[in-house]
Structure 1
Amino acid sequence: MRCILVGVKTKYNKKDIKYSLSELEGLVEAADGIVLGKIYQNKEIPDPATFIGKGKAQELREVAEGINADTIVFDTNLTPVQISNLKKITNVDILDRTDLILQIFYKRAKTKQAKLQVELAILEHQMPRIYGEKGKELSRIGGGMKTKGAGEQIGEIKARRIKDRINKIKKELKEIKKQKETQRKLREDNPDILKVSLVGYTNAGKSSLLKLLTKRETFISDQLFATLDTKTSYIYFPDIHKKVIITDTVGFVEDLPQEILDAFMTTLEEINEADIILHVIDISDENWEKKKEAVEEILAKLKVDKPVILVFNKIDKVVPSQDLIEDSFELSEGKESIIISCEKKWNIDKLFEILKKYALKKGEEDGKLHFLQDS
């Protein structure tokens, strides 16, 4: 893909467009695309036909022709009508934010569960678009007041097939969920075992942390959504005779499509099974606060109500020496936190000590987990 990125600021969308397009560029690169240029627009109200207006769409066509772009990616979600109209005017492929994320997920899915979850998300996203250009044209031929045009009939056939496939996938995912629940019960039947879930913005370093804590080999790459599959491993602390099970989950991103959240619900339920959550944050990212808030918003959508420890990773990109790091700090919101470097292994021993504290605390005080404060 040779892409032009389009960001539009409207009265409904007041986010930082430059920051958002920068992230969109990362998503394009994760989809093996190349960004040739970015276009910004301020528009009070989105145009229902093209989102950006016909004149701006024609300008986009001229730019795309001039730099030999074959795809235009919008940093928003478009309606089927807007996509259809934009394709006609610009004569290139049109992707919205959800289309792009689904493409990445499709490329990265490895296990049967991940592939089914991605296919489900894609099909549910396609449902409003089943008629398409050909269907619309055919609908004009033979489409009377009381009869259905050929395009409508084709659309209904496509819709039935998609619905049948969606139902089949959901059944398969239910079976996988049952199998995983059985495996989890066998693995975690001991109430003394502490269950920990890793969450965080994509590329924050969750996979690196899982590998460092558990010595488990896992795929690590400096790209968005490098891994989609849930991974579980454990730590055993022989000095206290305690076991800690750690589960990694799919990385989050701002405005993660609802189709992804719905499709990956089985995977994300692992978060609610945890006793505590390690929220991994890339502190070297100048936008880490926005990304932290994005993760917290998704956790709120998932109705996750668990103790959270903030793990600020990649401090080695900010300071040259471990001596310059505060051991830990308390935020005003009351969450326990620690600054680490997976790359340099800074403060990992202190993170182990935090996990030990919670492992010892598990099962006390009527089975409820409470934060331990250092005296």
Structure 2
Amino acid sequence: MTDTTTPTSTDETPVDPVARVLERAAAHSGVRVFGAAQALQNEAAFSRTDTDGEQWDREERAALRRVPGLSTELEDVSEVEYRQLRLENVVIVGVHPQGEQEDAENSLRELAALAETAGAVVLDAVLQRRPHPDPATYLGRGKAQELRDLVAALGADTVIADTELAPSQRRALEDVVKVKVIDRTTVILDIFSQHAKSREGKAQVELAQLEYLLPRLRGWGDSMSRQAGGQVGAGGAGMGSRGPGETKIELDRRRIRTKMALLRRQIRDFAPARDAKRAERKRNTIPSVAIAGYTNAGKSSLLNRLTSAGVLVENALFATLDATVRRAEAADGRVYTLTDTVGFVRNLPHQLVEAFRSTLEEVGDADVIVHVVDAAHPDPAAQLQTVRDVIGDVGARDITEIVVFNKADLVDDDTRMVLRGLEPRALFASSRTGEGIAELRAAIEAALPLPAVEVRALVPYDRGDLVSAAHESGHIVSQTHEAAGTALHAHVSERLAAELAPFAV
């Protein structure tokens, strides 16, 4: 029997709930002791810096934070604006074949962190070794019965499977364990729905949710049907009208498809404004740098450290969903943009990849990709491969990539040597301490593409606006002041080259 009491720490350091769960999982057959979970950074090591700004968005996000031991019933109608939701108690389960136990453990750690981010308390974990998941109940029949007893003993509300379950598997497992069963995709979609803030982000999340829901609708027999027929006097349409009609589940499917079509049109309608901004940047030859990487690798913290953008920073998976573009200036005066993008995760649901394709376009259209990796993660190689797979999906394999191992202050020299073996040319940085930020900024500036046209011009002093534009959007090779004007040798855009043409020398 699993000990359901909450262990307390002897010092003031908080107990990591994910690590606690995975350690307690050793009490069950088929489950081995896991190491400390690293999917979420330890709160003792997580801190915000002056570059993160005031973080006003955190208050709004925490307004409906789930809390333990709180009733979901309102005591007074005036409390409705301050309602908090009770934490859901969950048990997580996974299946892995022979020889893939370490990878399965890392995946289960990540699932536990996803559940914590979604607002749940992970009570226990079950990991079964078998060649293939059971086509009926995902777990084998005996392990499913054992899971039912575990759920009853712990008083869990929900079981979360570390895969995308088929509708029949979910229903069959629910029939055995007698509580709600969801899968990894459902948890990720729930986190996205909590964190989406912009109109486009909310539309993308809703579209992904509906695409996931459509094949999983359940009907409840004839009582839910909408069939025509019956006697005229009893309210029916009489002869000639008796037919199969439209059942309730068919009606729901039609409504979902209609809503999905509407959402796709809305997302397409957002594209012209985004494309216009991107075209204006290209017309002015403003290079773009996309910050991509695994979720919770520290992309937003790095953007704040590079630009003092003040975007939201949180020790949670998928804290950032909406692309944030900020202006930056190179040492030679050139202007470029830095874009914070949505994080990736292993087995990212294809519905989300499709729905967020417009956001991922920022990566595909960038001139440079800063690929951020969590140096303290137990499996950085898997992070690298996962992100590169998604980068390939959006057609960005040929774009210049700068790999940065973030959170370098949390790793020792031996770990750095291992990481250097993974990526010999990678940089090490810490958005918390500022280590390596100057080197990263210099690497970004060196990778920025030069404007297309090389010009030599003697610009009159009354056309200082052209010299200023060359400094802002071009690359100055040399500049001297002469009696007739400013002698300029620079790489500039075709548009600015045309304006400088009358003064060419």
User: In the TM superposition, what are the counterparts of 1:123-134 in structure 2 within 5 Å?
Assistant: 123-130=210-217, 132=218, 134=220
Matched with 1:153 is 247
Matched with 1:168 is 262
Gaps spanning 5+ residues in structure 2: where?
Answer: 1-87, 229-241, 455-505
Alpha-carbon offset, residue 235 of structure 1: 0.7
Matched with 2:333 is 241
**Deviations for 1:106-143, whole angstroms, at most 9, x for unmatched residues?**
1111111110000000000011112x15259868x99x
Alpha-carbon offset, residue 18 of structure 1: 1.1
**Deviations for 1:256-304, whole angstroms, at most 9, x for unmatched residues?**
0000000000000111110110000111212112111111122122222
Q: Please say which of residues 49-58 and 195-204 is displaced more in the overlay.
A: 49-58
| Cα 1:243–1:99 shift into 2, 3 Å | same
Matched with 2:41 is none
Alpha-carbon offset, residue 362 of structure 1: 5.1
Alpha-carbon offset, residue 210 of structure 1: 0.8
Matched with 2:53 is none
Alpha-carbon offset, residue 307 of structure 1: 1.2
Taking the aligned partners of 2:129 and 2:222, their CA distance within structure 1 comes to 31
Taking the aligned partners of 2:220 and 2:90, their CA distance within structure 1 comes to 25
TM-score normalised over the length of structure 1: 0.86
Which amino acid is the alignment partner of residue 271 of structure 2? K
Taking the aligned partners of 2:190 and 2:422, their CA distance within structure 1 comes to 39
Alpha-carbon offset, residue 347 of structure 1: 1.5
Q: What is the Cα-based RMSD across aligned positions, in Å?
A: 2.8
Matched with 2:200 is 113
TM-score normalised over the length of structure 2: 0.65
| Cα 1:332–1:12 shift into 2, 3 Å | closer
Matched with 2:442 is 353
Q: How many residues align?
A: 350
Which amino acid is the alignment partner of residue 439 of structure 2? K
| Percent of aligned pairs sharing the same letter | 35
| Cα 1:362–1:222 shift into 2, 3 Å | farther
Residue among 327, 340, 359 paired with 2:429: 340
Which amino acid is the alignment partner of residue 251 of structure 2? I
Matched with 2:369 is 277
Matched with 1:252 is 344
Residue among 308, 313, 319 paired with 2:406: 313
Matched with 1:21 is 108
Matched with 1:372 is none
Residue among 87, 90, 94 paired with 2:181: 94
Taking the aligned partners of 1:276 and 1:260, their CA distance within structure 2 comes to 24
Residue among 315, 324, 330 paired with 1:222: 315
Matched, 1:5 2:92: yes
Residue 281 of structure 1: SS of its match in structure 2? strand
Alpha-carbon offset, residue 46 of structure 1: 2.5
Which amino acid is the alignment partner of residue 270 of structure 2? I
Matched with 2:460 is none
Taking the aligned partners of 2:304 and 2:378, their CA distance within structure 1 comes to 25
Matched with 1:232 is 325
User: In the TM superposition, what are the counterparts of 1:72-91 in structure 2 within 5 Å?
Assistant: 72-91=159-178
Alpha-carbon offset, residue 221 of structure 1: 0.7
Matched, 1:57 2:144: yes
Which amino acid is the alignment partner of residue 393 of structure 2? K
Taking the aligned partners of 1:12 and 1:183, their CA distance within structure 2 comes to 50
Residue 326 of structure 2: SS of its match in structure 1? strand
User: In the TM superposition, what are the counterparts of 1:326-337 in structure 2 within 5 Å?
Assistant: 336-337=425-426
Taking the aligned partners of 1:105 and 1:252, their CA distance within structure 2 comes to 12
Taking the aligned partners of 1:137 and 1:154, their CA distance within structure 2 comes to 9
**Deviations for 1:28-85, whole angstroms, at most 9, x for unmatched residues?**
0110111100001122232222121333322211111100001000001111111112
| Cα 1:164–1:313 shift into 2, 3 Å | same
Contact 1:9 1:15 in 2 (8 A): no
User: In the TM superposition, what are the counterparts of 1:290-309 in structure 2 within 5 Å?
Assistant: 290-305=382-397, 306-309=399-402
Contact 2:405 2:427 in 1 (8 A): yes
| Cα 1:35–1:359 shift into 2, 3 Å | same
**Deviations for 1:165-197, whole angstroms, at most 9, x for unmatched residues?**
000000000010111111222344212x22100
Q: Which has the larger radius of gyration?
A: 2
Matched with 1:369 is none
Contact 1:212 1:342 in 2 (8 A): yes
Gaps spanning 5+ residues in structure 1: where?
Answer: 366-375
Matched with 1:371 is none
Which amino acid is the alignment partner of residue 347 of structure 1? G
| Cα 1:15–1:122 shift into 2, 3 Å | farther
Taking the aligned partners of 1:181 and 1:63, their CA distance within structure 2 comes to 53
Which amino acid is the alignment partner of residue 337 of structure 1? A
Residue 50 of structure 1: SS of its match in structure 2? coil
Alpha-carbon offset, residue 344 of structure 1: 0.5
| Cα 1:243–1:135 shift into 2, 3 Å | farther
Contact 2:224 2:247 in 1 (8 A): no
| Cα 1:185–1:360 shift into 2, 3 Å | closer
Matched with 1:200 is 293
| Cα 1:136–1:286 shift into 2, 3 Å | farther
Alpha-carbon offset, residue 96 of structure 1: 0.6
Which amino acid is the alignment partner of residue 289 of structure 1? A
**Deviations for 1:144-169, whole angstroms, at most 9, x for unmatched residues?**
xxx9878x722211111011000000
Alpha-carbon offset, residue 319 of structure 1: 4.0
Taking the aligned partners of 2:450 and 2:260, their CA distance within structure 1 comes to 43
